[in-house]
Chain A
Amino acid sequence: MESLYRPELATITKAAPMTATEKYFEIKLNSGRELGHKPGQFVEVSVFGVGEAPISVSSSPTKKGAFDLVIRKVGNVTGKIHNMTAGSTIGIRGPFGTHFPFDETKGKDILFVAGGIGLVPARSFINYVLDNRKDYNRVTVLFGCRNPNERLFTDELSLWAKRDDVEFLETVDKPLDTNWKGNCGVITTLFPKIKIEPANTFCVIVGPPIMYRFVIKEALDKHIPRHHIYVSLERRMKCGVGKCGHCQINGVYCCQEGPVFKYSDITHLEEAL
């Protein structure tokens, strides 16, 4: 019997700051094993001597040999890993949890709505779709963050903006005193700018807790069916394997039956959104 709680060792192969609070990491498992995740799943990251934190895998499974994490500094584990550089050893358990519907959406339109750090998990699916572009129909990506300094993966954002097989729209809540020339306003202000064929569209929403209610309303107003809307929810997690009880949303374990949920499966759970 293998222990559920023993992390395997992994090495940070690249580390680069992205914003004032977010840092990018590329991770390789020391065993050489592929992580083998599906878009939307997460891993438990160990910084030995500090603790563990659940972190979404940001890279697409199509990236081989290593995977990406983006970590926002909020506390002990996330703070400590921010001080780590390429070559440092961490621990990984997982991948855990449910994934985005990369199969059901084949041949369909996909509308991605990512707010702030929500781009991190969404990116694993966006890049998966783009790497298998012919399998999917229209792809729309909406991205919003508080200000231009908080934009993540700026190189990729400009690539997506340039591609003609992706409709990419972004906005910031406040431009600050940067020379931002793009859209201003919360992410829902992008909805009037897009055209969708609701019955054929799947909508994937990832962002901070308060964003969901507003964006889901927009999606429903656009007549996207409830069972075509997917969200990824964050909860406190201690074990990642359905034992510790911390992640429960009503009776649902977010680490097992989530973090990716079909909206129609959780509408009746008052603790969900």
Chain B
Amino acid sequence: MNAKILTKENLLSFVQNLIKTGEVVGVTKKDGKFAFDHLKRASDLVLDYDVTLLPPKKYVMPQRETLIKFNVKPEVKVEAVVEATPFTLIGVHPYDLKAINQLDRLFEENHVDTNYMKRREQATIIAVTPTRASKWSFWSSMNSIFVETGFDLLLTDIGGRYAVEIGTAHGDELLKKHAKFEEAAPADIEKLESIRSALPKMCSADRKINALTHEMTAILEIHRKSELWEKRAEKCYSCGSCNLICPTCYCFDVKEEIDLNLKDGSRYRVWDGCLLEDFAKIGSGENFREKRADRFRHRFFRKWSYLAAKLTEPACVGCGRCSSVCLPDIADPVKVINELKEEK
């Protein structure tokens, strides 16, 4: 293993230098929790956090993204819009990075989604090894503890100093240009390795799915007709919270807006969620997932079966956000899959 070492002060000045040269987004405190936000100064950055309210997905797939602009008068004109400017994302945990890696593949396959890909190309990602896990997280069960790709740099707190692993040439260059660092000593590497080997135990013991990821898919398939779906969905609000906070959800709606002059306008996409009642409803009034249970089940199958077939791994990274935001407490994958497994 190869790593560089940044002292806390050097990390701060590295971040400060990045802020001086471009847009930087990082983890900040919000109302007793954490959120990715525009960084005004390096000291606002929090690297010791459990989980953010929304995943960093919001910077590679913004909540609202313009796709085209048009004029309808005096003559119709239309142009493609790609909103992409360089930015650095600091503090991404491995599970959230894994989710971004999955989105990269899904937006690229078959038809390349230019809007996503161009924006993604502009992102520099500085990941960070978690120092603690939220009480809902189960990333150990989802193979999301370590990521090999997707980051330019990966930071790990090795006790007051940061080990920096280099993921890309771009990351290397950034470090050389903007940071004062040392080479890691053997003792540092040892420390780094011991921290890494302790990571699988970081999620609390009761946050474990009792199956390997490919077994989870099989468990779901066997229990497609289980009563569990109906039972849990009885309490579902159809609020879509479990979709909207998920780092791997990427469904969107497309909307149109025209200016008050009734001449110029734009078409944009916004996040959508398959738990929302009208998600599969068509103009004639037919709703192809009319029942709460149909929608509730779809989310699980989409992540553990349909997308798993494309990605060769479930499209859930175990961040535990859906579990934590669902007020009736029905959305938790750990409970759902473990309960299904217990059914015969």
Contact = CB atoms under 8 A, between A and B. Distances in A.
Summarize A's interface: helix, strand, loop or mixed: loop
B254 A241 contact: no
Contacts of A50: 256
Which among A246, A250, A251 has the highest number of chain B CB atoms within 10 Å? A246
B272 A245 contact: yes
A244 B279 CA distance: 11
Which among B67, B267, B289 has the highest number of chain A CB atoms within 10 Å? B267
A245 to B, nearest CB: 3
Interface in A240-266: 241-246, 248-251, 256
A75 to B, nearest CB: 5
A209 B307 CA distance: 26
Contact of A7 (B75, B78, B111, B272): B78
A119 to B, nearest CB: 16
B308 to A, nearest CB: 9
B252 A244 contact: yes
A155 interface: no
A251 B301 contact: yes
Nearest to A240: B111
B197 interface: no
B78 A91 contact: yes
A4 B112 contact: yes
B144 interface: no
Contacts of A46: 78, 267
A244 B251 contact: yes
A221 interface: no
B240 to A, nearest CB: 13
Given A7-B68, A238-B254, A1 B281 contact: no
Contacts of A48: 70, 72, 76, 78, 256, 265
Nearest to A234: B282
A235 B280 contact: yes
A265 to B, nearest CB: 15
A33 B72 CA distance: 23
Interface string A29-69: 00000000000000000101111110000000000000000
B340 interface: no
Given A4-B111, A49-B70, A248-B302, A235 B288 contact: yes
A250 B252 contact: no
A53 B282 CA distance: 11
A239 B113 CA distance: 11
A9 interface: yes
Contacts of A208: 284
B189 interface: no
Interface stretch (B23-31, B114-122, B134-142): B114-122
Contacts of B262: 49
A158 interface: no
Given A7-B68, A75-B283, A251-B305, A243 B254 contact: no
Nearest to B259: A49
A250 B306 CA distance: 8
A50 B76 CA distance: 13
B288 A236 contact: yes
A248 B289 CA distance: 10
Interface in B229-264: 250-256, 258, 262
B181 interface: no
Interface in A1-40: 1-7, 9
Contact of B267 (A51, A249, A251, A256): A51
A271 interface: yes
B68 A236 contact: no
A242 B253 contact: no
A3 B114 contact: yes
A78 interface: yes
19 contacts: A2-B114, A3-B115, A4-B115, A5-B68, A5-B267, A46-B78, A48-B70, A48-B256, A49-B258, A53-B283, A75-B283, A78-B283, A235-B280, A236-B279, A243-B107, A243-B113, A243-B252, A251-B309, A270-B224
Given A6-B80, A246-B272, 17 more contacts: A3-B115, A5-B67, A5-B68, A6-B68, A6-B78, A7-B78, A51-B255, A51-B267, A209-B286, A236-B279, A238-B254, A241-B111, A242-B109, A242-B111, A246-B253, A246-B279, A251-B306
Interface of B: 67-68, 70, 72, 75-76, 78-80, 82, 106-107, 109-115, 117-118, 224, 250-256, 258, 262, 265, 267, 269, 272, 274, 279-284, 286, 288-289, 294, 298, 301-302, 305-307, 309
User: What 7 pairs across the A-B complex have the smallest Cβ distances?
Assistant: A251-B306, A245-B251, A3-B80, A6-B80, A74-B283, A89-B76, A5-B67
